[in-house]
Amino acid sequence: MQPEALKLLTDVGQAGAAILAFAADLTPRQYESDVLLRSLVERQCEIIGEALRRLERADPQVFAQIRHARRIIDFRNVIAHGYDSLDSVIVSQVVRLHLPDLLEGVRAVTKLTHQ
């Protein structure tokens, strides 16, 4: 794995860990009512999506190993450009249901390339 790819995957892992540390049990109501929590979750999701976008260019083979990477980038674009149409139910579901799988996939990819 190229050093840049490893750095980008590390960024994904760190951003995901930050989200889970503060919002693992996020409910739509909590998300809507807490501007600081929304800011944290949305900013870290933007970092995840941007890191994956850069990974696609830096190391397409590694990018291809990340499940749903394209959808994650698309989600980042909605947050960044369609912030006024975000659905708090969808955001909380992404955090609860999909983020742990993404982080596990990133750990698996980085582990495989370091063996």
pLDDT in tens, 15-51: 999 999 988 777 788 888 899 998 999 999 999 999 9
- Asked if the model's pLDDT at residue 14 lies above 60, the reply is yes
Q: Please report the pLDDT score of residue 15 as a whole number.
A: 97
Contacts of 45 (CB under 8 A, 6+ apart): 15, 19, 75, 76, 79, 91, 94
Q: pLDDT tens digits, residue range 56-105?
A: 999 999 999 999 999 999 999 999 998 788 888 888 888 888 999 999 99
The closest alpha carbon to 62, from 18, 17, 3, 21, belongs to: 3
Length, in residues, of the chain: 115
- Domain of 85? 3-113
Q: Please report the pLDDT score of residue 47 as a whole number.
A: 97
Q: What is the DSSP letter of 66?
A: S
- Asked if the model's pLDDT at residue 114 lies above 60, the reply is no
Provide the pLDDT confidence category of residue 115 given band limits of 50, 70 and 90: very low
Label residue 105 exposed, middle or buried (CB < 10 Å: 0-12, 13-18, 19+): middle
State the total domains in the chain: 1
